[in-house]
Chain A
């Protein structure tokens, strides 16, 4: 499902126009992104939470040149589904 379909479904669910839904969604997303940019994790209720994780620096060796390189630490976004969501998709 792409963003447009999602907005459509959401508007049906909320009984408001798609335009309103789209603006609401974008507002919501921007709030989430702001939080994530601060490095905080964002709880999405029963879905789970989006969290920022730091990946430690690590050494790699280029197999072609055999050069050892140091990859710097970085922050990555991770989605941690809640146990309810997990169990929902447990059954295939």
Chain B
């Protein structure tokens, strides 16, 4: 009981309280007794400056005897729980009070893994907070660890860099290999290009140039080199060449480069010859045996002379065929895409026109035929005809535009024809739709006569004051039997209502007498028209 800890405590206590050690000891004893009594009786004891001691019940639970491994039951019991006062808590925690919760970036966790999660935050702590020396000693070794980890990560990264270097080397090697392939492709490309009339002419022009001894010799040399290289690449990998053939568009650039290199070998050539020089590798290679009328034939004839050339000629033929097919397919694709785009465009234009002119028709009618209560069919048809004419004109304009577009886009005539047919289809459809409109809209026009005659509100059924918690729709429901007819009340009282949605209670409202046809609840058109007005008013 009177162990060292208590003794030193009692000594200090006796000193501070100016009492003898005996008294202090007596105080502690009685303190302990009262403490136990208080907990036993009240289960709670609060001491100012310290905190509260509580007895908390720990319920019955099952456990396992550590030694025997048998399940045992732990009986319910009380346990003393101490909750310190906030002041004491803060006092005790003073050494760490300056530390705050730090948000850790998720990226840090991802990249550094588990080990660094513990060490790296400490780094942050060191940088952001001034830890005391005792804490610093704790932190530093861990920081060293993290540095070590960083160093190791560097070690990991450095081989990676080597790997990337290796990859780059491999890539460059591959490019070199592909370069030769491209060079071989130059020959093939030149052959395929020679099928076009232009290039054959060029070849004819080149021949006389080659007649000069120096040039022909040099070119022959380069051509034979090229042929050798081609032969090698052919023998090595035919598929590779096919692959490069597919990328013929891309390979044209290297082709130019190679031709440039050839040009460098032949300083004697003038600049005028240079554009012609793009093809010479093949042309002279065919030269020794055959005339240059058709570039494919000469390749076939030297077959017995050179087996490599035989292979090459066959390949070239194949390649030219494939290329032609490819081009055809491409053209077809372009044509299909462009035509489809066109169809969509024309459809949208037609729709827009239809929409616009529909609206225009209404407006036109409203403005011109409002006064005529009986609209003659002749006038209608006339109006429609003029409208149709306008529409057709507009469509024609579009057609012209479309044709222009076709010309600009280098689309084949078939596309234009398709587009025209589509346009004509669209126009027919529009015509049909308008015919339908004419037949179906006959009834509605009777109503539109009623709707469009200007409403004059001279007679009133009633005069009311806007009740509290009411709306125009409710008033309309009361007087006209439908909510949607509020628009007429609003129209009659426009001068008194600024906003139909907000009417100050007590506002005097005149309920107008309306044509029965206008507020015929059984007729959906009246409601539709009311809603149409509603839209107009609400938008305002």
Is the A/B pair a real complex?
A: yes
Is B9 part of the contact surface with A, judged by Cβ < 8 Å? yes
Please state if A89 and B103 are interface contacts (CB–CB under 8 Å). no
- The residues in A between 4 and 47 inclusive whose CB is less than 8 angstroms from any CB of B are 5-6, 9-10, 13-14, 23-37, 39, 41-47
Complex interface: chain A residues within 8 A of B36 (CB): 47, 85, 88
Please state if A59 and B117 are interface contacts (CB–CB under 8 Å). yes
Complex interface: chain A residues within 8 A of B6 (CB): 43-45
Docked Cα-Cα span, A48 to B6, in Å, equals 10
Is A64 part of the contact surface with B, judged by Cβ < 8 Å? no
Please state if A28 and B32 are interface contacts (CB–CB under 8 Å). no
Please state if A79 and B44 are interface contacts (CB–CB under 8 Å). no
Which range contains the number of B residues in contact with the other chain?
Answer: 35 or more
Is B351 part of the contact surface with A, judged by Cβ < 8 Å? no
- The residues in B between 57 and 91 inclusive whose CB is less than 8 angstroms from any CB of A are 57, 75-82, 84, 88-89, 91
- The residues in B between 3 and 49 inclusive whose CB is less than 8 angstroms from any CB of A are 3, 5-6, 9, 12-13, 16-17, 19, 26-42, 44-49
Total count of chain A residues near the partner, CB < 8 A: 59
* Residue among B94, B103, B122 with most chain A CB within 10 A: B103
Measured between C-beta atoms, what is the minimum distance from B385 to chain A in Å?
Answer: 69
Complex interface: chain B residues within 8 A of A43 (CB): 3, 5-6, 9
Is B92 part of the contact surface with A, judged by Cβ < 8 Å? yes
Please state if B1 and A45 are interface contacts (CB–CB under 8 Å). yes
Docked Cα-Cα span, A6 to B41, in Å, equals 12
Main secondary structure of the interface of A (DSSP, over half): mixed
Please state if B35 and A47 are interface contacts (CB–CB under 8 Å). yes
Is B50 part of the contact surface with A, judged by Cβ < 8 Å? yes
Please state if A76 and B93 are interface contacts (CB–CB under 8 Å). yes
Docked Cα-Cα span, A6 to B34, in Å, equals 7
Complex interface: chain B residues within 8 A of A81 (CB): 79-80
Docked Cα-Cα span, A23 to B76, in Å, equals 39
Measured between C-beta atoms, what is the minimum distance from A36 to chain B in Å?
Answer: 5
Partner of B81, one of A30, A32, A71, A79: A79
Complex interface: chain B residues within 8 A of A57 (CB): 121-122, 125
Please state if A41 and B30 are interface contacts (CB–CB under 8 Å). no
Please state if B30 and A1 are interface contacts (CB–CB under 8 Å). no
Docked Cα-Cα span, A30 to B448, in Å, equals 97
Is B479 part of the contact surface with A, judged by Cβ < 8 Å? no
Complex interface: chain A residues within 8 A of B100 (CB): 72
Complex interface: chain B residues within 8 A of A23 (CB): 17
* Residue among B2, B9, B16, B40 with most chain A CB within 10 A: B9
Please state if A89 and B79 are interface contacts (CB–CB under 8 Å). yes
Please state if B38 and A42 are interface contacts (CB–CB under 8 Å). no
Once A72-B100, A76-B92 are accepted as A-B contacts, the answer to whether A29 and B34 lie under 8 Å apart by CB is no
Please state if B47 and A29 are interface contacts (CB–CB under 8 Å). yes
Once A36-B91, A75-B95 are accepted as A-B contacts, the answer to whether A1 and B46 lie under 8 Å apart by CB is yes
Please state if B88 and A36 are interface contacts (CB–CB under 8 Å). yes
Please state if B92 and A75 are interface contacts (CB–CB under 8 Å). yes
**CB-nearest residue of chain A to B98:** A72
Contacts A6-B34, A70-B104 supplied; 7 other A-B pairs, CB < 8 Å: A1-B44, A28-B17, A44-B31, A44-B32, A48-B80, A50-B82, A75-B92
Which A residues form the contact surface with B (CB < 8 A)? 1-3, 5-6, 9-10, 13-14, 23-37, 39, 41-50, 52, 57, 59, 67-79, 81, 85-86, 88-92
Q: What 9 pairs across the A-B complex have the smallest Cβ distances? A: A79-B82, A72-B99, A43-B5, A29-B49, A89-B78, A13-B30, A27-B17, A1-B38, A1-B42
Which B residues form the contact surface with A (CB < 8 A)? 1-3, 5-6, 9, 12-13, 16-17, 19, 26-42, 44-51, 53, 55, 57, 75-82, 84, 88-89, 91-96, 99-104, 106, 109, 117, 121-122, 124-125
